[in-house]
Amino acid sequence: MVTPDVSDISPNTAYLTYCHARSRFIVYTRFKGVIAMIFNYIRVSTGDQNSARQLAEVKADRVYKEVASAKSKNRPQLTAMLSNLRKGDVVNVHELSRLARSVRDLIEIVESILSSGASIVFQKENLKFEAGEKQDAFQNLSLNLLGAVAQFERELLLERQREGIAIAKGQGKYKGRRTKFTDKDIEKMRNEFFHASNKTQLAKKWGISRQYLYQIAS
Q: Which of 117, 115, 104 shows the shortest CA–CA distance to 73? A: 104
Report yes or no on 135 lying in a domain. yes
Q: Which amino acid is at 168?
A: A
CATH of the domain at 62: 3.40.50.1390
128 and 192 inside one domain: no
Q: What is the pLDDT of residue 184?
A: 84
CB 110 within 8 A of CB 93: no
41 and 108 inside one domain: yes
Has 45 been annotated as catalytic? Answer: yes
50 and 126 inside one domain: yes
Q: How would DSSP label each residue in 88-116?
A: T-EEEES-HHHH-SSHHHHHHHHHHHHHT
Q: Which of the listed residues 97, 119, 147 is the one where a domain comes to its end? A: 147
Q: Distance between CA atoms of 93 and 121, rounded to whole angstroms?
A: 6
What are the angstrom distances between the C-alpha of 15 and each of 59, 85, 166, 189?
Answer: 16, 19, 56, 55
Question: pLDDT in tens for each of the 218 residues of the chain?
Answer: 444 454 454 444 333 333 333 333 444 444 445 568 999 999 998 877 889 899 999 999 999 999 998 888 889 999 999 999 999 999 999 998 899 888 888 888 998 999 999 999 999 988 888 887 666 665 677 777 777 777 767 676 766 676 676 777 777 765 666 667 887 888 888 888 878 888 888 888 888 888 888 877 76
* Nearby residues of 209 by Cβ (< 8 Å), 6 or more positions away: 203
Q: Distance between CA atoms of 111 and 119, rounded to whole angstroms?
A: 10
Report yes or no on 177 lying in a domain. no
Domain of 68 in residue numbering reads as: 37-147
> pTM of the full predicted structure?
0.58
Report yes or no on 7 lying in a domain. no
Report yes or no on 27 lying in a domain. no
DSSP state of 132: T
CB 99 within 8 A of CB 106: yes
How many domains in the chain? 2
41 and 126 inside one domain: yes
Annotated active-site residue in 7, 10, 23, 45: 45
141 and 208 inside one domain: no
139 and 193 inside one domain: no
Report yes or no on 79 lying in a domain. yes
Q: Which of the listed residues 100, 120, 147 is the one where a domain comes to its end? A: 147
Q: Distance between CA atoms of 64 and 138, rounded to whole angstroms?
A: 29
* Nearby residues of 89 by Cβ (< 8 Å), 6 or more positions away: 36, 37, 38, 39, 116, 117, 118, 119
Q: What is the pLDDT of residue 177?
A: 61
